[in-house]
């Protein structure tokens, strides 16, 4: 199915069939975002709200809309992922196999996972039958999540211009380990490795579920102990469900010593084979733009010979028709064989060749192809090449050893890596590949921790779906922590992405120092440390605690060796091929993963048992609070590895708890328990400044001693809005709910958040952290229905205003004026769903920033038929704005109000 832009308007055209509340908006977790979609005319706003699903529905509104779209588009089949009770997949597969034309693509009974493809015409009936089974917990339909360009370069858009160059020199061989370019020291990683040199990641294998890792990069060849860095390389996409043309069906028989194929004669050693043709044009959607052998065109193709008996593959790379002079290749882990498209010129700094590996997938059901293929199976061969620079950069941040051939490193230079490519050639990754790739890494590839820097922003981002449940089970069942980027749809509240929503994953927001702004961007700021503007904010739709932590979100690091160096233009320096500056929570997540790998490495060195729960407790209990950032923005705070290790040595652990707190949002009626969630979140309750409101928060301890245990209640990162109505100690019996009364009284308008810690002082670390969030919005009331604000926006900082749009408004008009000449200051409107109604990428919607690709009018935008409720209008000044302080006047007006 066609992926949806993270910034596309609801409804319209061929997508009119979508259910507005579940528009399936997706945002890859890199900050550049997708192409702008708004012209100078009125901007369509989110459409009418669809009737709420039953709280017990197993197919969510988003997936219902995807099914409706498939029907409207005439798709022959749809693919679904089903989460069942562990050990009970048999009921589901039996039901689905009874559907004519249906096929089971994957099933993991221990986890409770089934992937099936069914004829679209029979999907409703198949889903209805599956939903009747008590073993079925959730159903997700396949959808693609875009992976846009993470580059912040002003010159990444032709004709775009920025500010003057910075004063920092280029990083290189002589750059010390502690540096602002690859700021792993901010989490404590650099100091930790210096203090614990044998706990530098050695003994740890990190899974990177992404776009693939460049096997040719010098900084990704060896660990600190001289061992191979990349120990496995696989493709997670499905040969049929994901329409990945780098998977070749081996359905044409051939026999040596000579055979005819594709209009020509080939020779091969005596034996029986299958043969297929691989076209480089299949990779046209990737960074190589379809030119794999770097000869300037996309027309080349190579015959591929598969020996099923031996499990080997030959590729006719010289295109001479003779397979006898081509190397027999096995899957990468079976001998670490790497082949290349193209021939490198050693006299140039850039690589003129692209590495690849092979992979074999046997007995793939061919039913989705229909016709005579129904009931048949075939083997497929993968030509494993990377899709984009994204995965290589993520890998370098996590575990590079010897960046630029010097002392700069990734966070865990001693760690090994497993690369799993989950992205296809249409600009994104499917949730099927991201789910099955994650399962494969954890279950089959021997990894200790996994990083995933990809995700999407659904309107209902409460973490209550099949994929989130499966990720939680992977953590619990196999003891492998998953670390996932929070998203780049910020700075709006409730913009956290999926699957960073899953209960036990570590979701990571992006932060940045004054020094990194200067060194990597050539941008001057006054704040010492802050959240990056684009970093997605919490809470979840159910009030849940997200993001978990923050880590540095910008890095100069590894990129494919066949790509030229890519600095930010305003930095004023060049970079050699194979190095680039990328930004996003995609870059923050691997900092957190690498830092966590150091703790896993240290625990292994000390033969200490370390569970994912204990790791999370240590990280969240010791994180540093970022001054000036609210709890909903930073979660527990900036990772602090040294203190986390101290906590682990003191046996950090925590009981488990269930929390039920009131939630009032536009979508709170669709939560698992309507109106309640895992944190306090009052957005639509009409709270006024100076008003006191009391909320009941119910806490149930679900593990630990049988007897009641005293817990201390404390506030963290509280601006004075929240306090307890009773004592600051509470006695929690096992499995019996206890209600705590929380009072909120905001002195000012806007959003106020804090963390309520629930702690048994006999355990090391904080046992439970509960996010509390309230919004005091300014109503747009008659007769003018207008709010006007004048202030100053600081470069690289953000300010949010909350207004309540009345029912019956025909449009919402937002305008910005009063700007100083040259000021690059914009506004972004965010709907009551927590979904941006404007492009949030760093190159769109700014005045005085000449980006020819921008179609987002900077000074005035109109949103038709706006959702009634609390809208957020955020204001920010770009890093290239010539002014540190940028005056503005913002005007928000509801027009055509009736009733």
Domain layout of the chain by residue ranges: 13-146, 188-232+396-647, 247-384, 657-685+687-776, 779-895
- Residue 853: the pLDDT is 83
Q: Which helix (H) or strand (E) holds 479?
A: none
- Residue 63: the pLDDT is 84
Task: Name residues whose C-beta falls within 8 Å of residue 371's C-beta, 6 or more positions apart in sequence.
Answer: none
Give the pairing type, strands 339-341 and 312-315.
unpaired
150 — pLDDT class (breaks 50, 70, 90): low
354 — pLDDT class (breaks 50, 70, 90): very high
Return the minimum-mean-pLDDT range out of 49-63, 529-543, 547-561, 639-653: 49-63
Tell me the DSSP string of 48-109. PPPPPPPTT-SB-HHHHHHHHHHHHHT-SEEEEEEEE-TT-HHHHHHHHHTSTT-EEEEEET
Rounded CA-CA distance 7/196 in Å is: 45
Tell me the DSSP string of 310-357. TTEEEE-TT-SSBGGGS--B--GGGT---EEES---TTSSS-S-EEEE
CATH class of 779-895: mainly beta
CA atoms within 13 A on the CB side of 107: 19
- Name the residue with higher pLDDT: 35 or 63: 63
Return the minimum-mean-pLDDT range out of 357-371, 694-708, 841-855: 841-855
- Residue 640: the pLDDT is 98
Q: What is the mean pLDDT of the chain?
A: 90
For 323-333, what is the mean pLDDT?
A: 97
For 59-83, what is the mean pLDDT?
A: 88
Superfamily of domain 13-146: Malonyl-CoA ACP transacylase, ACP-binding (3.30.70.250)
- Residue 153: the pLDDT is 53
Query: Was domain 188-232+396-647 assigned CATH 3.40.50.200?
Result: yes
Rounded CA-CA distance 578/351 in Å is: 9
Whole-prediction pTM: 0.92
- Name the residue with higher pLDDT: 774 or 670: 774
**Quick one: which of 152, 189, 879 has its CA closest to 488?**
152
Rounded CA-CA distance 466/633 in Å is: 26
Whether the CA torsion 830, 65, 660, 615 is positive or negative: it is negative
313 — pLDDT class (breaks 50, 70, 90): very high
- Residue 101: the pLDDT is 86
Q: Is it the case that residue 17 has pLDDT exceeding 70?
A: no
- Name the residue with higher pLDDT: 682 or 424: 682
Return the minimum-mean-pLDDT range out of 43-52, 277-286, 333-342, 653-662: 43-52
- Which residues are designated catalytic? 210, 390, 586
Q: Which CATH architecture does the domain made up of 657-685+687-776 adopt?
A: Sandwich (2.60)
671-699: pLDDT as tens digits: 999 999 999 999 999 999 999 999 999 99
> Chain-centre distance of CA 349, in angstroms?
33
């Amino acid at each position: 199915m066609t992926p949806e832009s993270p910034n596309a308007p609801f409804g319209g055209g061929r997508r009119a069939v979508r259910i507005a509340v579940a528009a399936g908006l997706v945002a890859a977790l890199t900050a550049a975002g997708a192409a702008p979609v708004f012209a100078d005319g009125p901007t369509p706003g989110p459409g009418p709200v669809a009737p709420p699903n039953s709280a017990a529905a197993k197919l969510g509104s988003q997936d219902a809309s995807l099914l409706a779209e498939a029907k409207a588009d005439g798709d022959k089949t749809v693919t679904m992922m089903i989460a069942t009770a562990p050990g009970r997949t048999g009921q589901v597969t039996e039901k689905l196999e009874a559907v004519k034309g249906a096929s089971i693509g994957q099933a993991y009974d221990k986890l409770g996972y089934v992937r099936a493809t069914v004829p679209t015409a029979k999907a409703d009936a198949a889903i209805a039958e599956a939903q009747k089974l008590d073993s079925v917990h959730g159903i997700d339909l396949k959808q693609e999540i875009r992976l846009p360009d993470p580059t912040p370069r002003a010159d990444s858009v032709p004709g775009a211009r920025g500010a003057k160059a910075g004063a920092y020199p280029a990083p290189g061989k002589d750059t010390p380990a502690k540096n602002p370019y690859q700021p792993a020291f901010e989490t404590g990683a650099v100091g930790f490795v210096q203090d614990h040199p044998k706990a530098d990641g050695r003994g740890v294998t990190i899974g990177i579920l992404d776009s693939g890792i460049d096997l040719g990069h010098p900084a990704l060849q060896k660990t600190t102990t001289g061992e191979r860095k990349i120990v496995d390389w696989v493709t997670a996409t499905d040969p049929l469900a994901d329409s990945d043309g780098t998977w070749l069906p081996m359905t044409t028989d051939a026999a040596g010593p000579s055979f005819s194929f594709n209009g020509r004669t080939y020779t091969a050693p005596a034996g029986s084979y299958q043969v297929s043709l691989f076209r480089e044009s299949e990779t046209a959607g990737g960074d190589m733009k379809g030119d794999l052998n770097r000869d300037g065109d996309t027309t080349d193709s190579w015959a591929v010979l598969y020996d099923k008996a031996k499990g080997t593959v030959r590729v006719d790379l010289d295109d001479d028709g003779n397979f006898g002079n081509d190397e027999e290749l096995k899957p990468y882990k079976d001998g670490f064989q790497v082949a290349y498209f193209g021939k490198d010129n050693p006299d140039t700094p850039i690589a003129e060749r692209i590495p690849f590996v092979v992979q074999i997938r046997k007995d793939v059901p061919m039913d989705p192809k229909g016709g005579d293929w129904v009931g048949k199976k075939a083997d497929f061969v993968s030509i494993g090449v990377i899709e984009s620079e994204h995965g290589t950069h993520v890998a370098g941040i996590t575990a590079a050893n010897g960046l630029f051939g010097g002392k700069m490193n990734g966070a865990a230079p001693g760690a090994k890596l497993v690369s799993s490519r989950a992205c296809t050639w249409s600009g994104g990754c499917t949730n099927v590949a991201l789910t099955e790739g994650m399962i494969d890494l954890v279950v089959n590839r021997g990894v200790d921790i996994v990083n995933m820097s990809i995700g999407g922003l659904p309107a209902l981002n409460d973490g209550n779906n099949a994929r989130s449940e499966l990720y939680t089970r992977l953590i619990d069942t196999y003891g492998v922590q998953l670390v996932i980027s929070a998203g780049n749809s910020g700075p709006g509240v409730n913009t956290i992405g999926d699957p960073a929503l899953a209960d036990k994953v570590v979701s990571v927001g992006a932060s940045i120092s004054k020094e990194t702004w200067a060194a990597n961007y050539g941008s001057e700021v006054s704040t010492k440390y802050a959240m990056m503007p684009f970093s997605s904010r919490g809470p979840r739709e159910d009030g849940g605690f997200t993001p978990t932590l923050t880590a540095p979100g910008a890095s100069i690091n590894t990129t494919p060796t066949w790509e030229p160096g890519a600095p930010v233009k305003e930095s004023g320096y060049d970079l050699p091929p194979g190095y680039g500056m990328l930004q996003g929570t995609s870059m923050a997540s691997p900092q957190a993963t690498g830092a966590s790998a150091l703790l896993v490495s240290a625990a292994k060195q000390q033969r200490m048992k370390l569970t994912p729960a204990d790791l999370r407790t240590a990280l969240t209990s010791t994180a540093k609070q970022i001054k000036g950032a609210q709890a909903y923005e930073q979660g527990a705070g900036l990772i602090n590895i040294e203190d986390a290790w101290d906590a682990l040595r003191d046996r950090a652990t925590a009981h488990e708890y269930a929390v039920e707190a009131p939630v009032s949002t536009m979508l709170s009626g669709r939560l698992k328990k309507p109106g309640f969630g895992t944190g306090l979140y009052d957005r639509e309750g009409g709270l006024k400044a100076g008003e006191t409101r009391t909320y009941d928060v119910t806490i149930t301890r679900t593990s630990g001693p049988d007897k009641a245990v005293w817990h201390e209640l404390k506030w963290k990162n509280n601006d004075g809005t929240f306090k307890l109505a009773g004592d600051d100690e509470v006695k929690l019996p096992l499995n019996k709910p206890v209600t705590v009364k929380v009072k909120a009284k905001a002195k000012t308008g806007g959003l106020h958040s804090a963390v309520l810690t629930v702690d048994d002082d006999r355990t090391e670390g904080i046992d439970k952290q509960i996010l509390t969030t309230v919004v005091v919005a300014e109503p747009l009331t008659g007769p003018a229905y207008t709010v006007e604000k004048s202030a100053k926006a600081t470069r690289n900082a953000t300010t949010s205003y909350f207004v309540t749009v009345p029912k019956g408004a025909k449009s919402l008009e937002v305008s910005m004026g009063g700007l100083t000449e040259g000021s690059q200051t914009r506004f972004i409107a965010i709907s009551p769903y927590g979904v941006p109604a404007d492009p949030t990428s760093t190159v769109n919607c700014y005045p005085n920033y000449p980006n020819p690709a921008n179609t987002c009018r900077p000074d005035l935008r109109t949103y038709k038929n706006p959702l009634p409720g609390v809208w957020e209008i955020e204001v920010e000044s770009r890093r290239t704005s010539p002014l540190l302080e940028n005056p503005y006047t913002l005007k928000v007006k509801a027009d055509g109000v009736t009733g």
